[in-house]
Chain A
Amino acid sequence: MRLKVDKISFSYDSVEALENISFELEQEEILGIVGPNGSGKTTLLRCINRVLKPKTGVVFLDKVNLSLIRQKEIAKEIGVVPQNSINRFPFTVFDTVLMGRFPHLGRFDKEKKEDFDLVDRSLRISGITHLASRLITEISGGEHQKVIIARALAQEPKVLLLDEPTLHLDINHQMELLELLRVLAKKESLIIVMVSHDLNLAARYADRILILKEGEIYRAGLPEKILTPSNVKEVYGIEVEIFRSSATNSLNIIPISTIKK
């Protein structure tokens, strides 16, 4: 399985939001998309599953051109964990995850044993089986994020898109969640695209990093190749110190000061 984003451009009315974005990902790969506020990260994510329709450019999943298939068919291939998914309606965790089966069910179908089994499995993989009968309005933010991941897994996707999945989570839950993503990429052979504000987490857990700047790809590649002080300075406008941690063997980015313009 291969995800190919081919020369995507998008604009909100007259404002150019994305320009000529291309990249390719293989299964088991995690791509971290980073960049300052307003650089088009979320827009790019939403163009990939065509909830936003790119002005030009195409997304391919293997040989399939996603612009030629229905939204419901895309939802069978691409699961999304949105940035703000907090639901104030008291559905149970189980039924929330069951909603992930929506793209696989026809209008007149009823949920079958197969669907329940998949919910069961998704709950287990996310480690929240014990929450099944709880209301999503009564669980913690970290647990809620796992519920939404489980819902995406119930879609049986090939690609998982996450928009700042660690936002609002404490350090412990951040790590736990990213470890889970890494396991998922390997065990479920998923392609994972994750937008993040946290350069350290992106550097540690993503196989490749894509830096967006003003709607264009500024740099893309291995974390150690592109997360350099000069690149970070150019994109974010801050001085940083970057070193490799001996404990995690991954890059650490320490902000030092903002640059006065």
Chain B
Amino acid sequence: MKAKEFIVKRRFKWSLILIALIVGLLVSMIFALTIGSTPIHPFVIAKILLSKIVNLTKDWPGYFESIVIGVRLPRILLGALVGAALGIAGCSMQGMFRNPMASPYVTGIASGSAFGASLVIVLGLGWRWIAPSAFLFSVSTAFLVYFIAKTRGKIPVGTLLLTGIAISLFFSALVSFTQYVAGERQLRQIVFWLMGGLWASNWNKVLSSFPLILLGSIGISFFSRDLNLLLTGEESALDLGVGVENVRKMILVLASLITASAVAACGIIGFVGLIIPHIMRILVGPDHRILLPSSFLGGAIFLIWTDTLSRRIIAPTELPVGIITAILGVPFFLFLLRKRKRQIGF
């Protein structure tokens, strides 16, 4: 009897969390669409969006449409995608490594992609090659780290983390070198790219990062039970038949791919992948069946809001979003951490 009540209650609670986050995401998107140098009423936004699906008489100025559909919407969608990717990738990495310091960048993706991007800038190959090069270099860095750390078919956690750090330092040095030899304008571009931001968003980027991020995230979510068991300890996981090494490999590959596509689209945005999973863990608990989708949605919401702030706070110029994510997110996280220190488990 008790157990049945429990299931009903938990199902209700989890549905509530998911509905709240989905509604929160939609509201955030609409809200972010209204904000900019030309404020547009949410009602008009809704009508413009609807007019793309059904026939509506256009009673709004034509340039509203190009602002909403051409400029703001791709930026907001890309923000949501990147935030979601970093959220779920960070969450799965922390769970898999059983390490609260793990982030989507543990496999050296950040510095690998940074080198890929700065190489293109320094060689003057043109903007459109930055994303592909960043993606290529981040994926190869992840695999390099993975294969170096692999010993006798296993990936010892400590070895992998250390290899990631070492390879990161190596590529950071290469990035420094490109910065050193770069011209004034190129240097500025590199620094801008390294800070990460959504200012160069367009529909192309949305469409090219969308499939990998979505498929990768769905893939990761099929490992929820495995991640839960890994969290209770490797021995227990083995006893219960978890293919620990295979799960690790799969999570590493999936999380690295979605992180790489996020980074390729908008540079290195720190903090989200590290802190969002912790915030969600405090709010919804350690169970990956609810924690993974929550981190996905929470990351999306968080990046939409911080990006909106970053483009308005010193308008008409904008700040790199990474600055805002840290300045806003850290105090909030520390507040939650102090309040519910015991609840996280890490």
Q: DSSP majority for the B interface?
A: helix
**Cβ of A89 < 8 Å from any Cβ of B?**
yes
Q: How far is the CA of A72 from the CA of B242 in the complex (A)?
A: 7
> Which one of B155-163, B200-208, B230-238 is at the interface?
B230-238
Option from A70, A102, A155 in Cβ contact (under 8 Å) with B229: A102
Proximity bits, B303-326, A CB within 8 Å = 1, else 0? 000000000000000000000000
- Cβ A71 vs Cβ B3 within 8 A: no
B231 engages A99 (CB within 8 Å): no
State whether A85 touches B240 (Cβ < 8 A). no
Is A130 part of the contact surface with B, judged by Cβ < 8 Å? yes
> Number of B interface residues, CB 8 Å?
30
Is there a chain B Cβ closer than 8 Å to A61's Cβ? no
- Asked whether, in the complex, the Cβ of A82 is within 8 Å of the Cβ of B6, the reply is no
Choose from B9, B225, B238, B344 the contact partner of A71 (Cβ within 8 Å).
B238
**Count of A-B contacts judged by CB separation below 8 Å:** 92
Q: Which residues of A contact B6 (CB under 8 A)?
A: 92, 94, 132-133
Cross-chain contact of A87 among B4, B9, B233 (Cβ < 8 A): B233
Kindly identify which residue among B2, B222, B232, B235 contacts A130, using a CB–CB cutoff of 8 Å.
B2
- Say whether, besides A89-B345, A91-B286, A132-B2, A71 and B243 are in contact (CB < 8 Å): yes
Is residue A100 within 8 Å, beta carbon to beta carbon, of the partner chain? yes
Report if A105-B239 is in contact (Cβ < 8 Å); known contacts: A95-B287, A99-B232, A116-B7: no
Q: Mark A84-117, 1 if CB is under 8 A from B, else 0.
A: 0101111110111001101101011000000010
Q: Give A87 to B98 CA distance when docked, in angstroms.
A: 12
A86: min CB distance to chain B, Å: 9
Interface of A with B (CB < 8 Å)? Answer: 49, 51, 70-76, 79-80, 82, 85, 87-92, 94-96, 99-100, 102-103, 105, 107-108, 116, 119-120, 123, 129-130, 132-133, 137, 155
24 A–B contacts, CB within 8 A, in A order = A49-B239, A51-B238, A72-B241, A73-B241, A74-B241, A79-B239, A87-B232, A88-B345, A89-B345, A90-B285, A91-B285, A91-B286, A91-B287, A92-B10, A94-B3, A95-B228, A99-B240, A102-B241, A102-B242, A103-B241, A105-B225, A116-B7, A120-B3, A132-B6
